[in-house]
Amino acid sequence: MAATATSTKTRADASIRPRDLGLTGAGKRPNGNGSRGPRPPGGGDNLRRDDLMPFQYRIGVWVGLASIIMLFAALTSAYVFRAGGRGWQTTPAPPLLWVSTALILASSVTFELARNGLKRNTAANYRHWLFVTLALGLGFLASQLLAWRQLVAQGVYFASNPHSSFFYVLTSLHALHLAGGVAALTYLLVRTADVWRASGGTAADPTLRAKADAVGVYWHFMDVLWVYLFGLLFFWR
């Protein structure tokens, strides 16, 4: 009787295969949820890396923006300290600066429309609104250049008075940083074309979305920064 029971137990144990316990090959490694079973298709590491992408890109952008904030904070302090002093004469705002403001505000709206198209995986809408955003950004830079030329034609130069000096420095630095944003938008357009060509027309690429989110943070910051500078230069007393 004992021999029969032992034989039955041995056959039952033998019928349990290692794969049923998740102990064969790569299955010995934990899967994405911390269990010891077989790894999910694509690997848990890839899933975790995709989840971290937006965070990593956003952190990188904010580190860069921190230096920009410190730069303009220092210039603002110098501006406030110097304002109203000897030789101070506020330069009238060129009318084209209102056009610049309208263009950059509109560009933030169109960028969000582009991101909405990306979330919906609609390539046509995303590329269309991203291109419009790029055009508005270039229009902003062009209007800034024309505004500077307008001031020069009126005899307002960099060294004309302290206010004009601050105006040229602050607006030039902002335009330089915005040009970086224009380069980022151009990169997104080129990269999007490559991704969709390789994937057959789908925008479901976590890296592309993470980069678009990071560029969005930078672009909206440039928008807010311009509104701040415009108010500081011509409406702050």
Nearest alpha carbon to residue 129 among 180, 197, 203: 203
* Mean pLDDT, the chain, integer: 79
> 134 versus 1: which is more confidently predicted?
134
pLDDT in tens, 196-236: 665 555 555 677 888 899 999 999 999 999 999 999 999 88
Give the residue-averaged pLDDT of 158-178: 94
Q: What is the pLDDT of residue 177?
A: 96
- pTM for the structure as a whole: 0.74
**Are the CB atoms for 97 and 227 separated by under 8 Å?**
no
Asked if 118 and 212 touch (Cβ cutoff 8 Å), the reply is yes
Position 56 scores a pLDDT of: 77
Residue 144: name the closest of 111, 176, 113, 166 by CA: 176
User: Hey, where are the domains in the chain?
Assistant: 52-234
CATH of domain 52-234: 1.20.120.80
Q: What is the pLDDT of residue 219?
A: 96
Determine which of 51-65, 156-170, 193-207 has the lowest per-residue pLDDT on average.
193-207
pLDDT of residue 85: 80
Whether residue 110 is predicted with pLDDT greater than 90 in this model: the reply is yes
Alpha-carbon gap, residue 128 to 142, rounded angstroms? 21
